[in-house]
Every structure is written in structure tokens, then in C-alpha cells.
Chains A and B, each alone.
Chain A
Amino acid sequence: MSRAKAVTVCAVLAIVMIGRPMSAGPLRVLDLDGRLVDPLAPAPGVRATVFVFVTTDCPIANRYAPEIQRLTSIFASQGVRFWLVYANPHEPPASIRNHLRQFQYAIPALRDPEHALVRFTKVTVSPEAAVVDPGGVLLYHGRIDDRWVNIGRDRPSPTRADLAEALRAILDGKAVAQSATPAVGCILSDFLR
């Protein structure tokens, strides 16, 4: 009985997913002034959109701040648009602004209080990245690189730059070799409790 119900739910989800790229309408994503934003709205020259999910107090996400900023400066000139997505609904815009200043971010920030974007991009932790093409198709989601193997277990330096490799493939018009990788960080679903 319950199994049959699960199948129905999946089917409904699948319809929604197929419908998603047509319009960003249902995504309730806010800017720091509380205005609804459609981060997937087509924009001239944008070849891919990257969402990097963070929270102000996740140590792993914060430690990636210089790397996130570095990747932005490399890829922004090649038609890649970056958004920082603050995924903890309990963080008010004022502390987010403060966080952006403190970590010297020069990337536009969004709030995702209902985790609409979290669900759409299938991310689970902070920091995690997702890449979406101009048609709204999810091309990559997962870690920025493989520095963290687990909570509390990290390499002296990463051996794979997963996000950068995905972006290079996309810009070269190739398929992303690994479209999903496991990310390590602060679990986002808890914040909706």
C-alpha cells in the first residue's frame, strides 16, 4: 500500500521536474531586500548559472570563501553567473550582509527560506554547488572539490576540482563527466525544522 503511494508521489515529482525548465515561477527565492527573484531568468551572455549554498556559521563553507571567490573571478568573464544562496531561513538579511562583508564576497546573494532552490538543485549541505544551464537543466551538483573527505577529515590540498572541471566541460560544450558528487558540510534539511 505504502509502496504504491510512493510511486505515485514520484510520478508527480517527475512531472514537476519536466515542467521546471519552462518557468522559474514557483521558486520563491528572495534577495536581501526581501524581493522575489528568478535567478534562472535568461540573461544575455549567460552560458551557465552556478549556485553555491552556504550559511553564515558553517565552518567548512566559510573556509571555502576564498576558493568560491576565486572560481567566480575565473569563470565570470566566460559567461558563468554565480549566486551565493543562504539556505538557513533563520539568518536575517542583516547578518548575511555582515557575513558578505566579513568574508569579502563580491557575489550576489539570495535567500532560499523555503528551500525551493535547495530541492530543485538536489543539494543537501553547505557548502555545495549546483550548475544550471540557460534552459534550467541541472548539469552538476555536489562538492566544490574533494578537500573534505568527511566531517573532520580533510586533505592538505584537494586532488579533484570537481566544480571547475564541470564548468570547463560545459563551456567546452561537452557532457559533465560526473554530474553529481558527494559534498561534505552542514546538513541543510535541519534548518527547516
Chain B
Amino acid sequence: MSRGAWTALLLLASTTMAAAPQAPATTFARDIAPLMYEACASCHREGGPAPFSLITYDQVRRRATQIAQVTGRHFMPPWKAEPESGDFVGQRRLSAREIQRIRQWVEAGAPEGDPRDLPRRPTWPDGWLLGTPDLVVTLEAPYTLSATSTDVFRIFAIPLPVAATRFVRGIEFHPGNARVVHHANIRIDATPASRRLDAADPSPGYDGLMPRSATYPEGHFLGWTPGQVAPLVPSDLAWRLEPGSDLVVQLHMQPSGAVEEVKPSIGLFFGHDPPRHTPTILRLGSQSIDIPPGEPRYVIKDAYTLPVDVDVLAVQPHAHYRAREIKGIATLPDGSTRWMMHITDWDFRWQHVYREVAPIALPKGTVLSMEYTFDNSAENVRNPQLPPARVSWGQRSQDEMGDLWFQLLARSDRDRATLARDVNRKMTAEDVIGYETMLRTSPGDTELHDDVALLYLGLGRPADAVPHFAASAAITPHSAAALYNLGTALAAASRLDEAAVALRQALEINPGSAAASANLGAVVLQQGHVVEAVKYLEEAIRLDPGNLQGLNALSSAYAASGRFDRAVAIADAALRLAPPGPLADEIRSRRDAYFRNLKPRPRAADEP
């Protein structure tokens, strides 16, 4: 650099120096309080979920160095998504300039400045932020959290006493003890499965995993992170709550060091009219995760091509302790790309549902993709296993997961149906991989075998279901249910002889099973043994007059034996039970054919 340039720089520097005394100093009242009110005080306030308040000058100056430290490290405010991820509801992020301003203020001795510069202090309503809930539920008795050193995950099934179907526009979660409740996963269980697990544990709630039946209500995310309230959705986007359902709440609790009582309460807000649109939840991810011990960079990828135009309403990443970087990208048909989610320092404990401020429109043909990176080395301080061990996919916290969820809304009923069907196929195909992954480590788990076999049947892959039901039957050889499942899957795979053997064994163990009797009847009917088929099917209907499959098969069996009057009567009985749809249509057309056979005519000529 030339001497001249140096001189110029020096001059510039001295000019700046000379100007500095006139430049207004950074003060609390004018420069820092607005940041605190905006980015910190929604949690750091009296009665808020944070451990101390950051509102007054005294409160803030006595944490000043700490505030500069944690904002400089981006630990606070807790907002994991990088700026390129987009704009989300409840977003709390300080700009580099704001972080710098805090640091300068602290270095200048944290001056108060002129109190007249203070902006109006924000206020928060006591109680419910979304209005008066239509229903408030809580635990019957508080859960007592002991002063252990490790985090606690506890699941509570809370009954939702509604007499008729309600249309839910939103929920508001109150942790009941903000000192220890760090975040909440919330699901709805329309079955008694969660309730039974909760009841089996003498204390409120239970440890373990949510049952498969505890799911997000169709098309919606639920959950709570500190300081966040998801706004109510418009009535036409509400979700249906059926009577008899339970709210299932998994609390992630960080013990405070003292014994604590925890009693969350949840307010539900209902709309008057049934929803007109249902969003679709798309899950990208891999369930074949298998990370070698010590591996510092293990990458999973997944992608999905949108079959219709959609609006993205929300994004939720999920992974456990070894995930480090989260990437979600949309590649539009014109080849351009945009970030949907980017987190460079994933922390399992700051999980959040990121709701778009404005829906993101993506055209048909857009590829939504995800790429997650995991660190299973000892260098990852959050690694729950030291020395590092091989880790595979699973829902327990020592396992790993890698999911990126999108809430998508298509623009017409027809598109919504197309999207729901296509997404369901995509996700089920990944679900079976997850089960196969879990079965590698737990090959003796009959529930896993049964669940994955049912998914295979749903995917129209009975041949893949057979080995799993066979494994279940081998593990529990005297279980009529296992043999029934095996026989049914064999029948669906057209392995009739083997199916008949399994179903006969099931009936030997439990002769009172209408379902086994019905399926055996249907199998032997396909084998051409009409008389035997009628015997089993009549027995099935005697045991369970409402067995639709049994009625359907029995009418066929009567027809096959030339007893068309009975075939028509039984088909009519089946039609009374069948819900409108392809099955009902099929029964009706056969019933009409049988009826034509009843008409007086030269019978012998028509008989096959």
C-alpha cells in the first residue's frame, strides 16, 4: 500500500475518531429496551416461561455481559432456523447489527440513558392469549418431577369430554410449571391405547413411546415451545375432534434441581361449521438410518415430487441428538431453488413447528427435498452414547430419526384427494422400511411384525406381509389370532392351500372366531369346495350376524350351489351393512345377477 493511501486511511480514521464524541452513545432506554421487549420479554417476564425477567433497566444491566454472550452465540433468542429459511410466525431473531449494538452497550458500561426514550412497555394478558377457550382440560393430579440430573420425557393421556364432533381451530398449551417444562409434543388418540398405557402406570402419565394410534389430527401439527402460541386457523381449515378421543401430551422436562409439581392445562378453541379443506401432512425422511460408531458425517436424503399445485403452510423438522445440520429445499419446475428450512446447529431440545407468515405457493412438479447430517462421533457433545455405538432408526431417544414434515394445502377437492393418496403411498412405503429397520434389532417383537404386515396389506403387497405374520405365528404358536392373520395374508397372496391350513389351525384353537370361519369359508369356496364353504360361512354368520365379509362370501357360496333365493337374501343383508363405495357396488351388481337367475325361465339351459 502506498504511503499516500496510508495517509488517507489515517485521515479517515482521525475524522471518525473526531466525530465519535458527537455520535450518540448506545443507551438502554433508546437502543436496548426495544430489543428486549421485542425479542426477549415474551418469555423473560413476570409469569413467563424463562427463569428471570428482562424488562427493567436493573434487570437487564445485571445480566448485561450474559446477554451479550448468549446473543453473540445465537443461543438466545432461541430460534434455530437460519434467515434463508423464510419468515415464520413468532420468529425471534436478532440481526447482526442488533447483536453488535448489545455488545457495544455492554462495553460502554451498560448506561441507562434518558428514561424518556423508553418505548411503551409491552403487556401480556394473564391467562389465555387466544381468547376464552371452549374447553379446558388438565391432568387429574399433578405429576411430581424429582430432582434428577437427566431430562425426563413423560406421556399423559388427557380425556377430551366432547359429546359430539367438534371442529378445532386451535389449542393453547399452558405448561403448568414453566421452570421445568421445556417443550411439548401433542397428538390425538381416537383409540383407548394411550389411555390404557397411562392407566397402567400408577403415577400420572407413563414413560416410553406414544402408541401408533396417537397421531396429528388430520392435516395439522400440534405442539408447544416456550413463548410460542400457534394462532387459530380459519373455520374452514379446522380439524375434526371425535367424541371419545384423548389428547396425548408428551412433556420434555428439564428438572430444576428441586422437586417440582407439573400440571399442564390445554385450552381448545372450536369453530361452528365443519371444515371445508383439509391440509395434507407430507413427511420426508429416511427410516433406514444406520450410523456406524464414530462416524462424524452421516448423510440422509429424501425427495418428493408434488403431483399438484400446493401452498406450504408450515414446516417441522425432527431428529434426535446426533443430527447437526438440517436442510430442506424446494426445486421448482423451472430449475430454481428456495430454502424451506435450514438449521446449522440442530438441538433436539428446541423443536418447533415453523408456520409460514404467508403460505409458500409451489407449482405441480416441484421437488421437495431434505438432507440431514448426523455426527455419531465422541466430538458431538450431545451424543447420548459414549463411546459412540452403532445407531439405527427408531423412536426412542437413543435411536435416531430424520424427518422433515410439511403442511401442504392443495387448491381444489380433487387436488387434495390426489395429494392425500399420493403422500400416503409415499409415507407408508417409508414406514415399512422403518419397521424392517426396527425388526433387525428386535426380531422377536410380534407387535412390530404384525404392524408392518398390516402396512404391507394396505400397500397391496400381501406376499411381503406373509413372512411377518409367519414370524409372529412361529413366536406365539398357540395364538389363534396369529394363525388367523397368517391365513388371511396367505389367502390375499393366493396361496390357498397354505391359507386353509393356517385358518383350520386357528379355528381348532378358537372355534368361536367368526372372522376365521368366514375367511376359511371364502378360501375353500375359491378352492371349489362349495358344500364345505357354505358350512363355514353359515357358522361365521351364526357367530356374528354382522360379519360383512362373511355375508358377502356366503351369498357367493349359495349362488355357486344354485340357491339363488338365499344368495339374494344374504346379499341384501350385506348391502344393508356395506358403506357406500366399491364393495357395496360390487355386492349390488352380483346381487342383481343372482336375482335374474331367480326369474322363471328354462333353468337347465342357463346352468354352467
Contacts and interface: CB of A to CB of B under 8 A. Distances in A.
A149 B256 contact: no
Contacts of B65: 187, 189-190
Interface stretch (B8-16, B56-64, B403-411): B56-64
A92 B404 CA distance: 49
Interface of B: 51-52, 61-66, 69-70, 73, 75-76, 110, 147-150, 254-259, 321, 347, 381-384, 386
B73 A62 contact: no
Contacts, number: 76
Contacts of A45: none
A159 interface: yes
A66 B75 CA distance: 26
Nearest to A156: B384
Contacts of B63: 186-187, 190
B382 A62 contact: no
B347 A152 contact: yes
Contacts of B66: 186-187, 190
A97 interface: no
Contact of B257 (A64, A150, A153, A154): A64
Contact of B256 (A62, A151, A154): A62
Interface string A150-166: 11111111010000000
Contact of B147 (A65, A88, A186): A65
A154 B347 contact: no
Interface in A160-193: 186-187, 189-191, 193
14 contacts: A62-B258, A66-B149, A103-B257, A104-B259, A149-B381, A150-B75, A152-B70, A152-B76, A155-B381, A157-B149, A187-B66, A190-B63, A190-B64, A191-B62
A112 to B, nearest CB: 15
Contacts of B76: 152
Given A190-B65, A193-B62, A151 B258 contact: no
A63 B257 contact: yes
A146 to B, nearest CB: 9
Contacts of A152: 70, 73, 75-76, 347
Interface in A107-158: 147, 149-157
A66 B70 contact: no
B233 to A, nearest CB: 32
Nearest to B78: A152
Given A63-B256, A65-B257, A103-B258, A151 B147 contact: no
Nearest to A125: B66
A59 interface: yes
B150 A157 contact: yes
A5 interface: no
Residue of A61, A149, A190 with most chain B CB atoms under a 10 A cut-off = A190
Contacts of A186: 63, 66
B52 to A, nearest CB: 5
A65 to B, nearest CB: 3
Contacts of B321: 156
Given A57-B52, A193-B110, A155 B62 contact: no
A191 B384 CA distance: 35
Interface string A33-64: 00000000000000000000000011101111
Contacts of A61: 257
A159 B379 CA distance: 12
Contacts of A66: 147-149, 257
Given A59-B51, A59-B256, A66-B149, A153 B62 contact: no
B28 to A, nearest CB: 11
Contacts of B148: 66
A63 B150 contact: no
A2 interface: no
Given A57-B52, A152-B70, A190 B382 contact: no
B166 to A, nearest CB: 38
A102 interface: yes
Interface of A: 57-59, 61-67, 88, 90, 102-104, 147, 149-157, 159, 186-187, 189-191, 193
A151 B381 contact: no
Given A103-B257, A157-B150, A193 B347 contact: no
Nearest to A99: B258
Residue of A57, A67, A156 with most chain B CB atoms under a 10 A cut-off = A156
B347 to A, nearest CB: 7
Contacts of A62: 256-258
Given A156-B150, A187-B69, 19 more contacts: A57-B51, A57-B52, A63-B254, A63-B255, A63-B257, A66-B148, A66-B149, A66-B257, A104-B259, A149-B381, A151-B70, A151-B73, A151-B75, A152-B75, A154-B381, A155-B382, A187-B66, A193-B64, A193-B110
A128 B51 CA distance: 19
A57 B52 CA distance: 7
Contact of B61 (A59, A88, A151, A193): A193
Contacts of B259: 104
Residue of A58, A90, A155 with most chain B CB atoms under a 10 A cut-off = A155
A61 to B, nearest CB: 8
Residue of B66, B255, B257 with most chain A CB atoms under a 10 A cut-off = B257
Contacts of A104: 147, 258-259
B51 A67 contact: no
B524 to A, nearest CB: 58
A177 to B, nearest CB: 21
A125 to B, nearest CB: 9
A36 B540 CA distance: 90
B259 to A, nearest CB: 8
Nearest to A64: B257
A59 B255 CA distance: 10
A190 B63 CA distance: 6
Contacts of B386: 159
Contacts of A151: 69-70, 73, 75
B258 A150 contact: no
Contacts of B256: 59, 62-63
B258 A65 contact: yes
A57 B258 CA distance: 12
B382 A153 contact: yes
Nearest to B256: A62
Nearest to B64: A190
A88 B63 CA distance: 11
Nearest to B254: A63
A184 to B, nearest CB: 10
A61 B149 CA distance: 12
A102 B382 contact: no
B40 to A, nearest CB: 15
A62 to B, nearest CB: 4
B214 to A, nearest CB: 26
B382 A156 contact: yes
Nearest to A102: B258
